[in-house]
Amino acid sequence: MPPIPGSGLAKGLAVTLRTMTKKTVTAQYPDTQPELPPRSRGVIGLFEENCTVCMLCARECPDWCIYIDSHKETVPPAAPGGRERSRNVLDRFAIDFSLCMYCGICIEVCPFDALFWSPEFEYAETDIHELTHERDKLREWMWTVPEPPALDPGAEEPKEIAAARKTADKLAAQQAQQSEEGGTP
Amino acid sequence: MNDVSDVALRLAIVFVVFLVAPLLVGQTEHKVMAHMQGRLGPMYAGGFHGWAQLVADGVKFAQKEDVVPAAADRRVFQLAPAVALLPYLLVLVAIPVGPGDGAVGQVIDAGIFFVLAVMGIGVLGSLMAGWASANKFSLLGGLRTAAQLLSYELPMLLAAASVAMAAGTVSLTGILDAFEWWWLPWQIAGALVFFVAGLAELQRPPFDMPVADSEIIFGAYTEYTGLRFALFLLAEYAGIVILCALTTVLFLGGWHGPFGADGLGWLWTLLKTALLAFVVIWLRVSYPRLREDQLQKLAWTTLVPLALAQIALTGIVKVAIN
Amino acid sequence: MHSVAPSVLAAAVADHPGFLSPTGVEIAFVLVGLTTLGAAVITVTTRQLVHAALWLVVALGGLAVEYLLLTAEFIAWVQVLIYVGSIVVLLLFGLMLTRAPIGRSPDADSGNRWIALGVALASAAALVWVVVDAFRTTWIDLEGPAQGSTAVTGAFLFRNWVLPFEALSVLLLAALVGAIVLSRKHDTDTAVRRDTAVRPDTAVRPDPAVRPAPDPADRRGKEEQS
């Protein structure tokens, strides 16, 4: 059956009228903050305690926007007669956000989970030099990092938890065996 | 002396309405269009839902430099906005809002002819602006305006003539006095033709080929800045008010309403006008722009025959009644 | 030139009840008449084409005001609707579509100035003579019921002047049909020409392969220059 002439026009009017009665999608940004999901690429936070100054992030950065200074300290031997160990101590960790292109490679390569994405994005400056943020600022941002989203149901277990559980299982098995051995005599 | 003050009061009221009503329509357009597109529209100016947005716009326009292009024809260029705007002010004087002679700026014997004639002058402003700007896009816009007016003036006149035939008078108050509710279905085709042709004369979307921004920037108004530009915009919105009020008076019975006290006729007129203004905005949001040839085709192959058929129908019914 | 007749008429009107005490309407009539005359003169003498058309608007509008002052309201609005709203717009449209330079057009003057002036004066004289002779001491009562109202004009036109009215209608219809016929004939002509132009054996198609490629050396040279 051919469409009634003008039905298309009426349909167009209906669409706009229906949209008018619906809730708008405009976010009133400065008045209400946007709800950004975890891992939104707002800014990079640094969890200093995890950093070993391995320099992987600085080397992988395509923009060379991460500056790291460190020195070595010798740590007295843990046991008497043992060897002295040397440890890297972080002196400076800065990211120049005027160069950063938010690719997230540094976060991906960090083997010790010291870098995180934070959804915080309001750090515009009037001078480009002020966009180089030092470790204290990066640490402040660390506290704005939200909890990662829950895993999908039926997803593979996270590696570290799997490893921890394996160890725990092994220990439990050992203990059980020991108590069995101790019980038989 | 009483007469003089009466006339002055009426003119003052008409002038205030002329300044306020277009702003109301403009603000409604801001908000309605925004919500039809899932947006909020202006929210800040004036505090409450951006009610003062157009006031702020006016202040902004007043602050801008008034530029006249070097190659332009200075006097014609500067005169054009006034020519575009003033006719609508004149038309507003003749539109009856309520029953009786008290609710109209000035009773005019040949009302229909007056309003249509004076509205036709407004287009001269666009033509003058387009030519005097010394800009190819402006000239194209002016030409498109003129072509559009030439083709849509005819169906508009014919549709208005149909009502005049039905009422047996060309006075706007006379037409309203003669109005009966069954004119609504009787004149429906004429009403559609009148409204559509009026939209085209105002260059409102979907008939905004003369100001098609993707092709010719802003048509005849491309070179205008500051207050003169604002006057052109004001003319467009005043045109919407006039068109809606005219359609109300001619086809929808003006102050006649199904219920309501005698003194509240003007409320019906305003309500119907506002409703039509909403439709104007609604159409703008819903439809894409018509191409120039589609525009001409619509006028000559659809609207003119429809208007002629309406006149024939009016004549037949009129004779049958008598 | 049309305005000559009304202003003379105005003088005649002012003459009768006392030349020294003209009413406000009469003064307005004369003033508007002079303005109209001035606009008409500028229309025919200006060298700027579009300005001429715009001055014509002023002249025609002034004429409408004169009609209004003579209480012929209907005629006044029809004058605005037809002449100012349509004819002049059509005129301007035609001008702008063909040629309408900003500034003076040196060729806007024909060599027939004096002849034109003679014709204009002759026709003005004829009009004045006819009008004065026809109306002489006829009076328009400005205070009484409007004598040029729509109802009166309609009754007059369709009772006394139906035959000329219909004759004019037929004339206009003939002109309309003629115009359509002329434009249609032209249309088929071009259609036939277009047909022959695109016939495959005569059409020359541009071959993309032989299109001259831009010379890289040339371009490099330009870049260096810039």
**CB spacing of B286 vs A25 below 8 angstroms:** no
| Count of structural domains, chain A | 2
Question: Which of left, alpha, beta for C25 (phi over 0: left; psi -120 to 50: alpha)?
Answer: alpha
Distance CA B314, CA B186 (A): 8
A65 is in an annotated binding site: no
- Distance from the Cα of B170 to chain A's closest Cα (Å) equals 33
Predicted complex ipTM: 0.79
d(CA C81, CA C77): 6
Q: Which domain holds residue A100?
A: 32-149
Output the pLDDT for position C141: 66
| Residues 6 or more apart whose Cβ sits within 8 Å of residue A55 | A68
pLDDT of residue C221: 44
Q: Looking at the domain assignment, is residue A123 inside a domain?
A: yes
At B5, the amino acid letter reads S
Would you call B120 and C81 a contact, using CB atoms and an 8 Å cutoff? Answer: yes
Query: CA-to-CA distance for C149 and B54, rounded, in angstroms?
Result: 42
Q: Under an 8 A CB cutoff, do A25 and B282 touch?
A: no
Ranges of residues in chain C whose predicted pLDDT is under 70: 1-22, 103, 106-109, 139-148, 185-226
The pLDDT of residue B120 is 80
Any CB–CB contact under 8 A between B33 and chain A? Answer: no
Question: How many H-runs (helices) and E-runs (strands) does chain A carry?
Answer: 5, 5
The end-to-end CA distance of chain B, in Å, is 46
Alpha carbons A65 and B309: distance in angstroms, whole number:
76
Only one residue has tokens 């992030």, namely A57
The neighbour count for residue A160, using CB atoms within 10 Å, is 9
* DSSP run (H or E) holding A95: strand A85-96
- C54 to B76: CB separation less than 8 angstroms, yes or no: yes
Chain C touched by B118 (CB under 8 Å): yes
Q: Cβ contacts (< 8 Å) between A20 and chain B: which residues?
A: 32, 35-36
Q: Which residues of A136-155 are buried (b: 16+ CB within 10 A; e: fewer)?
A: ebbeebbeebeeeeeeeeee
- State whether C80 and B120 contact (CB < 8 Å): yes
Is A13 within the bounds of a domain? Answer: no
Collapsing DSSP to helix, strand or coil, A184 comes out as coil
What are the helix (H) ranges across chain B? Answer: 2-36, 53-63, 74-93, 111-132, 136-167, 172-178, 183-186, 188-202, 213-216, 226-251, 265-286, 292-297, 304-321
Asked if the C-beta of A17 comes within 8 angstroms of chain B's C-beta atoms, the answer is: yes
Between 3.30.565.10, 3.40.50.2300, 1.20.120.1200, 1.10.10.10, what CATH number should domain C4-144 receive?
1.20.120.1200
**Which residue, A111, A108, A113, A120, is CA-closest to A145?**
A120
Tell me the chain B residues in contact with residue C57 when contact means C-beta distances shorter than 8 Å: 124
Q: Do A9 and B37 touch (CB under 8 A)?
A: no
Is A162 in the same domain as A82? Answer: no
| CB-neighbour burial class of residue C96 (10 A; exposed 0-12, middle 13-18, buried 19+) | buried
- Residues present in chain C in total: 226
pLDDT the model gives residue B103: 63
Per-residue pLDDT for chain B (322 aa), expressed as one digit of tens each?
567 787 788 888 888 888 888 888 888 898 888 888 888 888 888 878 888 888 888 899 889 888 888 888 888 888 888 888 888 888 888 888 777 666 666 677 777 888 888 888 888 888 888 888 888 888 888 888 888 888 888 898 899 888 888 888 888 888 888 888 788 888 888 899 999 998 888 888 888 888 888 888 888 888 888 888 888 888 889 889 989 988 988 888 877 777 766 667 778 888 888 999 999 999 988 888 888 888 888 888 989 999 999 999 888 888 888 7
Chain A interface disruption, residue of B285, B289, B290, B294, most A CBs within 10 A: B285
| Cβ contact, residue pair B132, C102, below 8 Å | yes
Contact residues on chain A for B282, CB-CB shorter than 8 A: 13, 16-17
In this structure, the answer to whether residues A39 and A108 fall within a common structural domain is yes
Q: How far apart are CA B276 and CA B264, in angstroms?
A: 19
What is the DSSP secondary-structure string of A34-79?
--PPTT-SSEEEE-GGG-----HHHHH-TT--EEEEEEEEEE--SS
Amino acid making up residue A38: P
Contact flag C77-B114 (C-beta cutoff 8 Å) = yes
Answer for the pair B200, B146: CB distance below 8 angstroms, yes or no: no
The alpha carbon of residue B101 is apart from the nearest alpha carbon of chain C, in Å, by 18
Lowest mean pLDDT among A6-20, A142-156, C176-190: C176-190
- A84 & A107 share domain: yes
Assess if residue A14 is contained within a domain: no
The pLDDT, as a whole number, for residue B268 is 82
Structure tokens at B266: 């003007």
Spatial distance between the Cα atoms of B156 and B197, rounded to a whole number of angstroms? 6
Chain B residues whose beta carbon lies within 8 Å of the beta carbon of residue A24: 34-35, 38-40
Where are chain C's structural domains? 4-144, 161-198
How confident is the model at residue C186, as a pLDDT?
58
CB contact under 8 A, A12 and B39: no
CA distances to C211, C216, C217, C225 from C220, in Å:
20, 6, 5, 9
pLDDT of residue C224: 43
CA-nearest of B27, B77, B16 to B240 is B27
Q: Is the dihedral of CA B208, B211, B214, B215 positive or negative?
A: positive
Q: Decide if A65 is inside a domain.
A: yes
Q: Write down the pLDDT at residue B2.
A: 67
State whether residue B68 is helix, strand or coil: coil
Q: Tell me which residue in B34, B37, B282 faces A13 most closely, judged by beta carbons.
A: B282
- The reply to whether A138 and A164 lie within a common domain is no
Of A13, A17, A25, the CB nearest to B38: A25
Model pTM score? 0.75
The pLDDT value given to residue C145 = 65
Instruction: Residue A109: give its domain's CATH number.
Output: 3.30.70.3270
Residues A167, A80: one domain? no
Among the listed residues B23, B55, B27, B60, the one whose alpha carbon sits nearest the alpha carbon of residue B42:
B27
- A94 and A61 in a common domain: yes
What span, in angstroms and rounded, lies between the C-alpha atoms of C213 and A5?
51
Q: DSSP for B245-314, please give it.
A: HHHHHHHS-TT--SS--GGGHHHHHHHHHHHHHHHHHHHHHH-PPPPHHHHHHIIIIIIHHHHHHHHHHH
Q: How many residues does chain B have?
A: 322
Are 3 or more Cβ–Cβ pairs between C and A shorter than 8 Å? Answer: no
Residue A170 domain flag: yes
Beta strands in C133-224 (DSSP E): none
Strand partners, A72: A88
pLDDT band at A64 (very low <50, low <70, confident <90, very high): very high
What are the Cα distances from residue B86, in Å, to A6, A19, A87, B286, C90?
37, 37, 85, 30, 21
Touch between C and B (at least 3 CB pairs under 8 Å):
yes
Chain A partners within 8 Å of B39 (Cβ): 24-26
Q: What are phi and psi for residue B162, nearest 5 degrees?
A: -60, -45
Residues 6+ apart with CB under 8 A from C189: none
Q: How many CB atoms lie within 10 A of CB C65?
A: 19
